[in-house]
């Protein structure tokens, strides 16, 4: 390296915040691709999802985490453990807030988690597209954010892309010097099985309401590359959507199979974009009673990926 060349920086960044503040949306915006699934349902993210940002000054390895929820239910406790555990593994913490909603108990929880972090903590005020400057100033005045934060707070919008480059710059500036860890064309290290299960779950979440999204998980039973005569490679998927009760099967399947048909159709389109080849999905809905009480399943669906 010549003296005038700036040092390359590589930082692992843990992302925390209450459910639905837009953590996964920010990961996607910073990585420039569909890395983490997004939905309007709180507690969409159930495991740590890694996304890689390639910048001229270095590389960021983003660790998306489940939203910090105040519920004491078994599944939420497992998810909270996944989120808080990130503190031991990262160089920089990114605490995300939603400025379109009043600062609340769960935001305070995120602030407390951030305060326990030993390294630099950057704060992102997301959903700025929904608020005026005056409303953002009022939110900040109202929020109990510690005054001694090491890094200024950045206003961003994951959906509009506002402030994303600046946020990347701030995160890089607080990352240690070090060589890039991942090749330029890699933006996540999730296994194909995990990505397929997540994209199907994203589509199921988009089409089910109330308790049903929380009561379902997706298991990929089979994933195969098959050659098609004259049509290139095909990714063939067999997956099961597990729910907790028979009544939920009917909701997911929908009238005349319209619900599951839409999940399959939209997941197929999304996965063809991710994998760049034709995708066929065979999808079933089955009941596994009280799976959210079973440690083995909770561990399996919430493990860090890659």
Ligand X SMILES: Nc1nc2c(ncn2[C@@H]2O[C@H](COP(=O)(O)OP(=O)(O)OP(=O)(O)O)[C@@H](O)[C@H]2O)c(=O)[nH]1
Please give the size of the binding site for ligand X, defined by CB under 6 A.
24
Among 24, 43, 76, 111, binds Mg ion (CB under 5 A): 24
130 binds, among Mg ion, ligand X, none (CB under 5 to 8 A by kind): ligand X
119 binds, among Mg ion, ligand X, none (CB under 5 to 8 A by kind): none
Between 26 and 251, name the residue whose CB sits nearer to ligand X: 26
CA-CA distance, 254 to 262, in Å (whole number)?
Answer: 9
Q: How far is the CB of 21 from Mg ion (least distance, A)?
A: 9
Q: How far is the CB of 96 from ligand X (least distance, A)?
A: 7
User: Per rule CB under 5 A, is residue 240 in the interface with Mg ion?
Assistant: no
Query: Under rule CB under 5 A, which residues in 85-124 are in contact with Mg ion?
Result: none
Q: How far is the CB of 296 from ligand X (least distance, A)?
A: 23
Between 26 and 263, name the residue whose CB sits nearer to ligand X: 26
Q: How far is the CB of 48 from ligand X (least distance, A)?
A: 11
User: Per rule CB under 5 A, is residue 248 in the interface with Mg ion?
Assistant: no
User: Per rule CB under 5 A, is residue 28 in the interface with Mg ion?
Assistant: no
Among 14, 51, 58, 67, binds ligand X (CB under 6 A): 67
User: Per rule CB under 6 A, is residue 25 in the interface with ligand X?
Assistant: yes
Among 24, 76, 175, 240, binds ligand X (CB under 6 A): 24
Query: Under rule CB under 6 A, which residues in 151-210 are in contact with ligand X?
Result: 157-159
Tokens coding 77: 């406790």
Between 19 and 259, name the residue whose CB sits nearer to ligand X: 19
User: Per rule CB under 6 A, is residue 23 in the interface with ligand X?
Assistant: yes
The CB-nearest residue to ligand X is 67
Write the DSSP assignment of the chain as a string of letters: --TTSPPPEEEEEEEE-STTSSHHHHHHHHHTS--S---SSSS---S-EEEEEEETTEEEEEEE--------SHHHHHHHHHHHGGGGT-SEEEEEEETTS---HHHHHHHHHHHT-SS-EEEEEE-GGGS-HHHHHHHHHHS---TT-SS--EE-BTTTTBTHHHHHHHHHHTSPB----S-TT--B---HHHHHHHHHHHHHHHH--TTTGGG-EEEEEEEEEEEETTTEEEEEEEEEEEESSHHHHHHHH-GGGHHHHHHHHHHHHHHHHHHSSEEEEEEEEEE-TTGGG-HHHHHHHTSPP-
The site for Mg ion (CB under 5 A) is made up of: 23-24, 44-45
């Amino acid at each position: 390296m010549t003296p005038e060349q700036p040092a390359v920086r590589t930082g692992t960044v843990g992302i925390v915040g209450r459910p639905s503040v837009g953590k996964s949306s920010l990961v996607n915006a910073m990585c420039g691709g569909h890395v983490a699934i997004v939905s309007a349902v709180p507690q969409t993210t159930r495991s740590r999802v890694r996304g890689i940002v390639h910048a001229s000054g270095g590389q960021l390895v983003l660790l998306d985490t489940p939203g910090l929820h105040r519920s004491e239910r078994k599944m939420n406790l497992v998810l909270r453990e996944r989120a808080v555990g990130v503190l031991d593994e990262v160089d920089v913490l990114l605490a995300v807030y939603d400025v379109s909603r009043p600062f609340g108990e769960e935001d305070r929880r995120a602030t407390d988690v951030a305060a326990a972090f030993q390294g630099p903590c950057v704060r992102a005020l997301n959903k700025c597209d929904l608020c005026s400057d005056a409303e953002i100033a009022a939110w900040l005045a109202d929020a109990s954010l510690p005054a001694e934060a090491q890094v200024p707070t950045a206003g961003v919008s994951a959906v509009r892309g506002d402030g994303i480059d600046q946020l990347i710059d701030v995160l890089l500036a607080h990352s240690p010097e070090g060589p890039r860890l991942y090749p330029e064309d890699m933006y996540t290290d999730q296994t194909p099985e995990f990505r397929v299960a997540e994209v199907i779950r994203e589509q199921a979440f988009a089409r089910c309401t109330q308790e049903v999204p929380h009561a379902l998980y997706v298991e990929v039973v089979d994933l195969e590359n098959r050659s098609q005569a004259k049509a290139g490679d095909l990714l063939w998927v067999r997956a099961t959507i597990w729910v907790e009760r028979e009544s939920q099967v009917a909701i997911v399947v929908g009238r005349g199979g319209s619900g599951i048909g839409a999940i399959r159709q939209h997941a197929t389109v999304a996965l063809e974009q991710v994998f760049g080849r034709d995708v066929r999905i065979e999808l079933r809905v089955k009941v596994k009673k009280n799976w959210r009480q079973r440690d083995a399943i909770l561990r399996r669906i919430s493990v860090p990926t890659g």
